Amino acid sequence: MPQDTFTLRLIAKELNETLRGGRINRVNQPGKEELALIVYTGKRTVKLTVNANAADCGVYFTEDERENPLVAPNFCMLLRKHLTGAEILGVSLDGFERIVVLRVKCFSDFSETVRELRAEIMGKYSNIILTENGTVLGALKTTMLDENCKRAILAGVKYTLPARQDKTVPSDRAALTALLSGPHDDLSGFLFRHVAGLAPCTAEQIVNSYRGGNFAEHVYGYIFSDDISPCVAEREGEVTDFFARAQEGALPFPTLSAAQSYFYGRKRARTQTEGMRRKLYSAANNVKKKAEKRLSQIREKQRECASCEENRVKGELLTANLYALSRGMKSCELPNYYDERGGTIKIALDETLTPSQNAQNYFKRYRKQKRTLEVAAPQEREAAAELDYAESLLAAISSAADADDLRALEEELLSAGMLKAPKERKKPPEVGFRRYERAGFLIKAGRNNLQNDKLVRTSAPEDLWLHTQGYHSCHVVIETKGKEVPDEVLLFAAGVCARYSSAKGGGKVPVDYCKVKYVKKPPKTKAGFVVYTDYRTLLTEPIEE
């Protein structure tokens, strides 16, 4: 992001034209390192975002509604005390530093004073500082006074600028001319290393726009020109950068602030979406691991009890041959009349017990193992169903296309107890089915297992239902309204089903389809589980959203 002095100067000029003379009505802090100033300009109310986060630092107007914490942080309370009702005198850059300064006139019952809100846009060193007469009143990020501190930032100390780099300030035309008088192999790299306030991409743009003549004059004119064409560059549907000057193939915007708002909004939405995806995936994966562990333990017990019939047979053979056995024998070999092939079987004995007691011991083991197997069977089915359900959630989370999909899945995990609902949580509006139109037919697809059940429950018996064969997927229904479904519509719906499934690696995916009346949900089964009959299968490739 080119948040260099070249860009910030243009942003400050743009903000000054809108905010000068406006009044700050409210101060919020929606994020740990982000402020929102609600300003009435005399014509309309605008929201100014001041962000000191390393990933998306900047100062720009936004229209998004973000939830504020229930208890305002200390710095936010300080700004509310000093800035609420203040008049904005102007917005400017501090010299040629990456510091945007809002000069405000603050009023009290007995006096008025001028304060400055300084937004230092410096990547990971970004900060927001409130000063009065050169003294720090408070800061978003403070530093303590110690022997390693190069620049103290805390209430009561004198405000100092960050340490200057050993670079030529472009506003000094004589120094700039002297710097650029000689030939240089890598002009853009030389500009970035030796001219203050330029990001690498800005230096490259300056060099690319040079058409001959005095190069120093060209650099000065480019940096201090107010001629801008804001735009945002995108690649494969994702924003990559924003610029003050037009770029080939970039999306144009009327103002730099609008370009920044779009860029950071898209970037923040992606970050939040991926963060939610990771949270949901972790919760579902924990459930899967627990189900796998439980299933493994149950099957281990079943393996241990697999010899129960053998113990019964041994008990029966001992009982039938008591006359031939005596106390003190360690083992015996008896004819096995349970074996169709005949032969004998060797039976271990406890030499301290009578033959009858040894037989009863084998019967006792048999009964215990049989009871264990009887109890383990429903437990195995339950654990297998839990594992299958967790795997269906993981497949849905992985294939979720947008925030709506993830919000629907979050609701399902909350209802299933896999996620803990935060206190004071506002229930979001219900997210509907995915909907598609194809050749006059409405196609609906569930976003989570709860919606899959609802889709089957609310669809007409003659509608077509689709699901991938052998893979977890969303349920898809084509509303037929008594009409024959063309192959084009059927293939598209099958492609939707394959797109939101656990099928990976490309290639054709088998999709089953039948009428909704042949789809049944067995009682007491997990959400999304159904059985179906009278189906046919087609092969298709997942659609591209």
474-486: pLDDT as tens digits = 999 999 998 999 9
Q: Is the pLDDT of residue 424 over 90?
A: no
pLDDT of residue 425: 61
Residue-wise pLDDT tens digits, 140-190: 998 876 656 678 888 888 998 888 888 888 888 898 888 888 777 788 888
Mean pLDDT of 397-415: 87
Residue-wise pLDDT tens digits, 345-361: 999 999 999 999 999 99
Spatial distance between the Cα atoms of 95 and 15, rounded to a whole number of angstroms: 17
Decide if 38 contacts 25 (C-beta within 8 A).
yes
Residue whose C-alpha is closest to residue 72's, from 29, 42, 38:
29
Mean pLDDT of 384-396: 91
pLDDT of residue 124: 87
Mean pLDDT of 322-346: 89
Q: Is the pLDDT of residue 16 over 90?
A: yes
Mean pLDDT of 267-292: 90
Residue whose C-alpha is closest to residue 98's, from 176, 161, 18, 13:
161
Mean pLDDT of 454-480: 93
CB atoms within 10 A of CB 504: 12
Q: DSSP readout, 364-428?
A: HHHHHHHHHHHHHHHHHHHHHHHHHHHHHHHHHHHH--SHHHHHHHHHHHHHTTSSPPPTTPPPP
pLDDT of residue 532: 94
**Nearest 10 degrees: Cα torsion 236, 240, 245, 250:** 10
Spatial distance between the Cα atoms of 537 and 504, rounded to a whole number of angstroms: 19
pLDDT of residue 83: 92
pLDDT of residue 290: 93
Mean pLDDT of 521-525: 90
pLDDT of residue 270: 86
Spatial distance between the Cα atoms of 364 and 320, rounded to a whole number of angstroms: 17
Q: Alpha-carbon torsion 136, 140, 144, 149, what sign?
A: negative
CB atoms within 10 A of CB 486: 13
Q: Which tokens sit at 161?
A: 């600028």
pLDDT confidence tier of residue 302, bands split at 50, 70 and 90: very high
- pTM greater than 0.85 (yes/no): no
Decide if 214 contacts 222 (C-beta within 8 A).
no
pLDDT confidence tier of residue 463, bands split at 50, 70 and 90: very high
Q: Is the pLDDT of residue 197 over 90?
A: no
Of the candidate ranges 103-107, 333-337, 413-417, the one whose mean pLDDT is the lowest: 413-417
Q: Which helix (H) or strand (E) holds 60?
A: strand 58-62
* Average pLDDT of the residues of the chain: 89
Mean pLDDT of 103-124: 89
Spatial distance between the Cα atoms of 381 and 404, rounded to a whole number of angstroms: 33
Decide if 446 contacts 475 (C-beta within 8 A).
yes
**Nearest 10 degrees: Cα torsion 211, 216, 220, 222:** 20
Of the candidate ranges 148-157, 371-380, 424-433, 451-460, the one whose mean pLDDT is the lowest: 424-433
Q: Is the pLDDT of residue 333 over 80?
A: yes
Mean pLDDT of 32-56: 91
Number of residues that make up the chain = 545
pLDDT of residue 184: 74
Q: Domains in the chain and their CATH numbers?
A: 5-139 (2.30.310.10), 432-540 (no CATH)
Spatial distance between the Cα atoms of 387 and 367, rounded to a whole number of angstroms: 30
Long-range contacts of the stretch 340-346 (C-beta < 8 A, 24+) = 345/313, 345/314, 345/317
Residue-wise pLDDT tens digits, 205-248: 888 888 888 888 998 898 898 888 999 998 887 888 888 888 88
Residue 529 Cα distances to 4, 151, 294, 400, angstroms: 55, 62, 21, 19
Spatial distance between the Cα atoms of 486 and 488, rounded to a whole number of angstroms: 5
